[in-house]
Amino acid sequence: MSEEEIKRFARDYDPQPFHLDDEAAKQTFFRGLAASGWHTAAITMRLLVKGGLPLADGIIGMGGEIAWLAPVRPGDVLRVTSTVAEIAPSQSKPDRAVVRFQCSTVNQRDEVVQRIEPKLLVFKRPA
């Protein structure tokens, strides 16, 4: 993620000093420029759609939890790992289930920067 990408997203969606201004960011909790957590979440979504979750009908969210564990800095390269945590077949609609995933967004130093546990609506394949 480049410094310009961090600042562009922040200007448009999360205009806080620690996302926009290198010098001001040094005086904050982050001790330097950091990407918005929402920017990290958006990149995670792109990575999941482009090659992470093999869901034929798309990613249809039903809620979940998100935690930002470490700041994303300029120059970081992100990847996502995902595992199925739970499958709950629908009792009333046998063609679908709710699947809970555990997704970790990791930087090039193998530091987990974000953890998301989404619940997704998943349709069964026709027999």
Q: Residue range 47-68: average pLDDT? A: 82
Least confident of 56-65, 85-94, 117-126: 56-65
pLDDT at 52: 63
Domain that holds residue 96: 3-123
- pLDDT of the residue at 48: 87
**pLDDT for position 49:** 84
Q: Distance between CA 70 and CA 76 in Å, rounded?
A: 12
Q: Say yes or no to pLDDT of 58 above 80.
A: no
Nearest in space to 61 (alpha carbons), one of 91, 101, 89: 101
Query: Residues 7, 84: contact at Cβ < 8 Å?
Result: no
Question: Which whole-number Å values give the CA distances from 125 to 3, 64, 82, in the listed order?
Answer: 43, 24, 21
Q: Strands, E, within 1-127: which ranges?
A: 60-68, 79-89, 96-106, 112-123
The CATH number that applies at residue 46 is: 3.10.129.10
- How many structural domains comprise the chain? 1
